[in-house]
Amino acid sequence: MLESSLIDLKGKRLGKWERGLLLDCGVIGQRTGIPIRVEGGTRAQNVAVRRAAKNLEATGLLITHKLRRASVIYDERLAMPIYRDGAFYRRVSPKRIHWTDCLAGWLSPFGAGVRVEYLPELRGQRPIRWTSERLRNAEHIGFTEYVSAPVLDAADVEGTQEAFARTSPINKAMKRIGPPGAEENPGRWTSAINCAVRELGSKGSVDLWTRSVEIFKSDETDAQLLQRGPQRATYRGRKTAKPGQLQKRRRELI
């Protein structure tokens, strides 16, 4: 293995991303893998760190595995009002869990030995000279002090996947909402909602919310809003609805 490693590493220069991975990654069999990505970084930065991981993997210093990673993100749709049973509600926390494919990285035993042997150069950003003697020491350190075989165990994958799926809890409770002044005058707000439902019928909750707020802030008096009685349901132009049609129409309005 030493001869092939020396050939692969001969003339190899390590950039800042390769050095960062060698310093930060855990060793297989001992720690969970780290995500091969830059948190909050640009697309170019994430492409660069993935390219660095491939370079290290090609030389036998790194082992990667594709996993699913969970993160909590803000969802604008969850912040929109929802109409239900004559009132509007909104999520307390408009966030959700977002799953993405992500590479996880571990140092191979040889990579762990290289980190120990070349630690001063890696930390000091100094040039690295790959010599047979130092690589032999790195190989000995990796396979004696860490693990005996460069095989990614299932426990490493499962433990890392569990860590990647762990997120902060999300409050999915709903709270009742209304425009400014609705708490002081709940009767007018209820009348405004009823008027909007009668006007728009089965349109979306956002349209109902917008129209309800417009009616609530209009110049109409509370008495005028109350006088807007429910429209008489009809069936095919008849003045009176057939049995069951009125109830169906009411469900559509709600």
Q: Cα dihedral angle (130, 132, 137, 139), rounded to 10 degrees?
A: 90
| Beta strand extents in the chain (DSSP E only) | 34-35, 62-74, 82-84, 87-91, 95-107, 174-177
The percentage of the chain sitting over the pLDDT mark of 90, rounded to a whole number, equals: 35
- Please, what is the end-to-end C-alpha distance for the chain in angstroms? 73
Give the Cβ contact number of residue 105 at 10 Å.
26
Residues 6+ apart with CB under 8 A from 44: none
Q: pLDDT band for position 82 (50/70/90)? A: very high
The per-residue pLDDT for range 41-65, each reduced to its tens digit, is: 899 999 999 999 999 998 889 999 8
Please give the model's pTM, rounded to 2 decimal places: 0.62
